[in-house]
Amino acid sequence: MAERVGIPAARDSRDRLYGRAAIDATPPPFEAFKPLRCGGCAVAVIAVSTHPRRTPRGGTTQVTALYRLPPNGEHDPGCPYDFKNRAENLIRDSRGTLVKDGEDYELRLPDPDTIEPPDPLPPSKPGKPTARLAVTASPYRLVPALSTAAGIVRLLREFDDDPDASSRFRARYAGRTLRWNEFCRGANEAVAIAGYLGHGPAARHPLALHGIVRDVGTAHSRNTHQLRDEHEDYLDHAGERRRLRVVVRSRNPGAFAQVRPGDRWLGYGHWKLWPAPSAPVTEVQLWIDGPWSLTTWREDNGSGPRA
């Protein structure tokens, strides 16, 4: 049986919120103020220090400090740190693109080259409740697998990108099964992604990349619209040191109309490595046809800072 995904935050008897790092402190700052409860509900939790764990092949791996439920403990309804319930909600909202397989979850991916513009959304109705994670408005429905992938990214971020959490997800494309970190990667991994894109076409599969918007605008040609991620790095290419950027481009003027600096974004498709011919710049680059191939959102965790 897979390990239960750890809880990333807890509160002490004074209602102070602590992240995982507090567990390995000497002494832990909450030691005199137990019992602890889940950072998202009232259920009691136990702090577990960083420790080794055996792997199926006989080796060991290091498990980061976490909070866990006691035996037979259950989260209160609606708790944001109830991982199983959050994943089940993703399945419910995925329109069939996310399925459960045992204790794991598999995202079924479409071929990016066959994605067509969906129908426009109906006009919004007044009085619609505001989501805790507000998604940037778009006049089109997102491709279901894209919106589900973004939901998984948001969920994993709330669980501190815990390897036990991310290992529960995988993607399936053209008969291939991909580990989640093979398919979905952060823009801050630009150098490693560039190395992957340098392989021959037979070794590549579509990627979902995500990050934070630095700016949106037009390229020098003025007929290309672009989103640039805030992360920049450097890459040695053909003996030359180049600035490395992650950029989404489109010739559709509406592709980034609802995007703002500071938004989080996720784009899915056949990314490529493009060295600019007239400047020492290389782009990890994706071309999209319209806003239905990109999702953006703003985060508002509302839980306060962790000690």
Distance, C-alpha 246 to centroid of its chain: 16
- In a shared domain, residues 160 and 116: yes
Q: Are residues 44 and 87 in the same domain?
A: no
Q: Which of 133, 156, 182 is the last residue of a domain?
A: 182
Residue 142: predicted pLDDT: 58
For residue 299, the number of C-alpha atoms closer than 13 Å in the C-beta half-sphere is 16
Judge residue 143's burial from the number of C-beta atoms within 10 Å of its C-beta, 0-12 exposed, 13-18 middle, 19 or more buried.
Answer: buried
Assess whether 254 and 268 both reside in one domain. Answer: yes
Q: Could you tell me if 245 and 182 are in contact, meaning their C-beta atoms sit under 8 angstroms apart?
A: no
Indicate whether 250 belongs to any domain: yes
Q: Report if residue 156 sits inside a domain.
A: yes
Residue 42 contacts by C-beta under 8 Å, 6 or more apart in sequence? 76
- Please list the rounded mean pLDDT of every run of 10 residues in the chain (307 residues): 80 98 97 98 97 83 93 96 97 96 94 64 40 36 84 97 95 95 97 88 85 94 92 89 97 93 96 92 94 86 56
Contact residues for 77 (Cβ-Cβ < 8 A; gap 6+): none
Looking at the fold, whether 108 and 27 belong to one and the same domain comes out as: no
CA torsion through residues 27, 3, 161, 301, sign: negative
The pair of structure tokens assigned to 43 is 């259920």
Is 3 inside a domain boundary?
no
Q: Are residues 96 and 50 in the same domain?
A: no
Structural domain boundaries, residue 289: 187-297
Q: Give the Cα separation of 234 and 280 in Å (integer).
A: 10
Residue 305 lies in a domain: no
Sign of the alpha-carbon torsion through 31, 33, 34, 39: negative
The partner residues of 107 in beta bridges, in order of sequence, read: 98, 171
Predicted confidence at residue 301, as pLDDT, reads 55
Q: Are residues 257 and 290 in the same domain?
A: yes
Residue 34 domain-assigned (yes or no):
yes
Residue 244 lies in a domain: yes
Domain annotation covers residue 127: yes
Q: How many domains does one find in the chain?
A: 3
Do residues 167 and 228 share a domain? no
Decide if 78 is inside a domain. no
Phi, psi of 164 (to 5 degrees): -65, -35
| HSE (side-chain half, CA atoms, 13 Å) at 123 | 2
pLDDT score for 53: 84
Does 215 share its domain with 256?
Answer: yes
CATH number assigned to the domain comprising residue 216: 2.40.50
Both 217 and 165 in one domain: the answer is no
Judgement on whether residues 192 and 163 belong to the same structural domain of the protein:
no
Helix (H) or strand (E) holding 134: strand 134-135
Supply the pLDDT for residue 135: 38
Q: What is the pTM of this model?
A: 0.86
Claim to verify: residue 97 and residue 165 sit in the same structural domain? yes
Q: Are 65 and 52 contacting, i.e. CB atoms less than 8 angstroms apart? A: no
Residue 14's contacts (CB-CB under 8 Å, 6 or more residues apart) are 33
163 and 209, same domain (yes or no): no
